[in-house]
Amino acid sequence: MRINFLVDGFNLYHSIRSVLSIHKVNTRWLDVKSLFTSYLHLFGKTAVLNEIHYFSALPYHLTGTDPGKLKRHQAYIDCLSSMGVCVHLGRFKKKDVYCTKCGQHFKKHEEKETDVAIAIKALEMFYNDECDVGVIVSGDTDFVPVVKACLSNFPKKKILFAFPYGKQNAELKKVSPESFKINHLQYSQYQLPNPYINGTTTILKPAEWI
């Protein structure tokens, strides 16, 4: 039973921020590989962690105002890549926004491509028989259509959601009843070592995350 996890990086990140805000624990140095391995028992004794696909985007637009955020994000991405996680990077796109309260126009950067990239990967991995079960780590309802398409076109496969803490969604649970919640205590339990060392790779946890 081969299990693939498809991680909506920003959905997971905002969940981690909620843990920091509510429980006052910084869990950004998350060991996703160990975390997801801890849930394999839900799929039976033959379940194995096959692949983790992590979808995110680097905030290059903050280089001038907050270069530390880019460096911290890059350090974490480097850790994931070093441990064998398949990292897929989208981009931020500048958008004109109008504020109805102050009547002003301003520029805002929005992360693009992640949802589409996850949807394409889900269909691709089932079509190529890369796994038996796909787990989308997100609580975003934008994934309803791709889950329905996977269930319709690949009836012998399973696709469900792992809801990050605070992101459980009744609509998604209805589409995929076997979906489950990730407990915030799991974030604390599964943290990368500091420093993270893998062969010749040594990466320090950002001081702001300690």
**Span 60-106, pLDDT tens digits:** 555 656 677 888 989 999 999 999 999 998 754 555 666 666 776 55
Cβ density class 51-89: b for 16+ within 10 Å, e for less: bbbbbbbbbeeeeeeeeeeeebbebbbebbebbebebbe
Res 33: pLDDT:
97
Map out the domains of the chain with their CATH numbers.
Answer: 2-209 (3.40.50.1010)
pLDDT exceeds cutoff 90 at 58: no
Q: Would you say 91 and 81 are in contact if contact means Cβ atoms under 8 Å apart? A: no
Question: Which tens digit of pLDDT belongs to each residue from 154-182?
Answer: 999 999 999 999 999 999 999 999 999 99
pLDDT at 40 over 60: yes
What pLDDT is stored for residue 92 in this prediction? 44
User: Which pLDDT does position 75 carry in this prediction?
Assistant: 94
The better pLDDT of the pair 33, 98 is held by 33
Average pLDDT for residues 176-190, to the nearest whole number? 96
The H or E element that residue 9 is part of is helix 9-23
- Report the chain's terminal Cα–Cα distance, integer Å: 37
The strand pair at 201-203 and 196-198 is best described as antiparallel
With pLDDT > 70 as the criterion, what percentage of the chain qualifies? 87
Dist CA 194 CA 80 (whole Å):
14
Model pLDDT, residue 102:
75
Q: Where are the alpha helices (DSSP H) in the chain?
A: 9-23, 32-37, 67-82, 114-127, 144-153, 170-175, 184-189
pLDDT score recorded for residue 63: 61
The two structure tokens encoding residue 11: 């959905």
* Inter-helix orientation angle 144-153/114-127, to 10°: 10
**Residue 155, SS3?**
coil
For residues 23-32, give the mean pLDDT: 96
List alpha helices for 51-165, DSSP H.
67-82, 114-127, 144-153
**Does residue 113 have a pLDDT over 80?**
no
